[in-house]
């Protein structure tokens, strides 16, 4: 779930308020956006992807990070290089190459197909337990 808006990095562009699919943030006329409804956060990391200044940190936990957790501590997160991490991978931001240029999903879908169990021969001879693997 979203844990941190860095006061130092945020430029109040409002993009996170606009783009969050579950409407977690509230705009504030006198301060940075606030995390108004953390419990609605679906941990999709897309606010991180769209924030132009790498000011947001979404913890990977599906619930709120416990008190005292480094996942809530801006300083420690900054030290570990945790701001803007997703944006780096997808290559968004000035002068970067889109990460999708390095997409090799084909390798893994092909490999998976090769691993498929043999198919049942006739209608009705299958049981659900033989259901093939799928991504």
Ligand X SMILES: Cc1cc2nc3c(=O)[nH]c(=O)nc-3n(C[C@H](O)[C@H](O)[C@H](O)COP(=O)(O)OP(=O)(O)OC[C@H]3O[C@@H](n4cnc5c(N)ncnc54)[C@H](O)[C@@H]3O)c2cc1C
Query: Under rule CB under 8 A, which residues in 55-84 are in contact with other proteins?
Result: 59-62, 71, 82
Instruction: Give the contacts of 104 (CB within 8 A, at least 6 positions apart).
Output: none
- What is the spatial distance between Cα 43 and Cα 33, in angstroms, rounded to a whole number? 18
**Smaller CB distance to ligand X: residue 66 or 135?**
135
**Distance (Å, rounded) from C-alpha 133 to C-alpha 135?**
7
The answer to whether 60 contacts ligand X (rule: CB under 6 A) is no
Establish if 41 lies at the interface with ligand SF4 (CB under 6 A): yes
39: nearest Cα among 57, 13, 65: 65
The site that binds ligand X (CB under 6 A) totals a number of residues, namely 2
Among 4, 45, 74, 83, binds other proteins (CB under 8 A): 45
What are the helix (H) ranges across 23-84?
A: 46-50, 74-79
53: number of Cβ within 10 Å: 17
Cβ–Cβ under 8 Å, residues 55 and 10: yes
Q: Which residues bind ligand X (CB under 6 A)?
A: 21, 135
Give the binding site for ligand SF4 (CB under 6 A): 2, 5, 10-16, 20-22, 24, 32-33, 41-47, 51-53, 55-56, 58
Residues in contact with other proteins by the rule CB under 8 A: 10-14, 17-23, 26-33, 40, 42-46, 49-50, 59-62, 71, 82, 85-86, 89-90, 92, 98-109, 111-112, 115, 119-120, 123-129, 131-135
């Amino acid at each position: 779930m979203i844990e941190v808006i860095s006061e130092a990095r945020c430029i109040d562009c409002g993009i996170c308020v606009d783009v969050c699919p579950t409407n977690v943030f509230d705009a504030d006329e006198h301060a940075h956006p606030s995390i108004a409804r953390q419990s609605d956060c679906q941990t999709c990391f897309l606010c991180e992807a769209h924030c132009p200044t790498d000011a947001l940190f979404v913890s990977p936990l599906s619930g709120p990070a416990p008190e005292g957790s480094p996942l809530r501590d801006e300083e420690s997160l900054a030290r570990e290089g945790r701001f803007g991490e997703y944006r780096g991978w997808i290559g968004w931001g000035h002068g970067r190459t889109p990460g999708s240029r390095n997409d090799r999903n084909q390798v893994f879908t092909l490999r998976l197909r090769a691993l498929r169990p043999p198919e049942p021969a006739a209608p009705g001879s299958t049981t659900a337990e033989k259901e093939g693997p799928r991504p």
